[in-house]
Each structure stands twice: as C-alpha cells, then as structure tokens.
C-alpha cells in the first residue's frame, strides 16, 4: 500500500499498513503502541501462546478497561473517547481481516 493516507505500524513484531487521515495519525500510532505493549505483556507472561490468542486476550483486557471507565460518571470520561476507540478497533479489525503482514527484513 503506497497510498499517501496510509501509515505503517508495528504490532508484536509485524508491520501493518493502515489507511488513516493525516489528522488521526498521532492517535493511531499511540493506539498501536498501546496495543503492542499490552500484547507483549501477555506474551511475556507465558500463559498465552500464539499471536491470535494474544491479540484476543489484549482486546478483552482493553475492552474491560474501557467498559470499566464507561461506568464512571460522565464528567470523568468523554463520550467521544468511546467513539474514537470503537473507530480504531474497527480499523484494526479490518486490517487484520484483509491485510497480510509485510515480510521482515
């Protein structure tokens, strides 16, 4: 993907090209780093093996955290944050479903 709107992020030692508006790149990179960190924590625990399972466990942990924050009073959390997280999760799901990881080298 050599689209001017695409950005490459690395998650658990694999690269993914994601189409992203320029103004959202910083948020997407932050989300990718956060996800990568969560996945590395899970992998290093040794309790979960396999990238797919690690990704599912990370998604469950992140979703749990998000739902817990939604239970807080509205003044402590932003409604737009939920929308941004859902949008980013949709993008990641789309990429994981359609994009082949690039070869490392």
* pLDDT bracket for residue 101 (50, 70, 90): low
Q: Tell me the whole-structure pTM to 2 decimals.
A: 0.63
Q: What is the pLDDT of residues 14-29, one digit of tens each?
A: 999 999 999 999 999 9
The answer to whether residues 28 and 18 touch, using CB atoms and an 8 Å cutoff, is yes
Which residue range is the domain that position 71 belongs to? 6-98
User: Looking at the domain assignment, is residue 91 inside a domain?
Assistant: yes
User: Looking at the domain assignment, is residue 103 inside a domain?
Assistant: no
User: Looking at the domain assignment, is residue 104 inside a domain?
Assistant: no
User: Looking at the domain assignment, is residue 81 inside a domain?
Assistant: yes
End-to-end CA distance of the chain: 17
**Number of domains present in the structure of the chain:** 1
The residues near 20 (Cβ < 8 Å, ≥ 6 apart) are 5, 6, 7, 28, 91
Q: What is the pLDDT of residues 60-99, one digit of tens each?
A: 999 998 888 877 765 555 567 777 787 778 777 777 766 5
Q: For residue 35, what is the domain's CATH number? A: 3.30.160.880
């Amino acid at each position: 993907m050599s689209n001017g709107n695409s950005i490459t992020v690395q998650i658990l030692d694999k690269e993914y090209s994601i189409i992203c508006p320029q103004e959202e790149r910083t948020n997407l990179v932050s989300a990718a780093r956060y996800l990568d960190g969560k996945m590395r924590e899970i992998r290093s625990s040794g309790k979960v093996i396999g990238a797919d399972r690690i990704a599912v466990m990370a998604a469950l942990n992140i979703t749990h955290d998000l739902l817990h924050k939604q239970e807080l009073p509205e003044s402590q959390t932003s409604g737009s944050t939920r929308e941004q997280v859902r949008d980013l999760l949709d993008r990641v799901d789309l990429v994981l479903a359609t994009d082949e990881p690039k070869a490392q080298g």
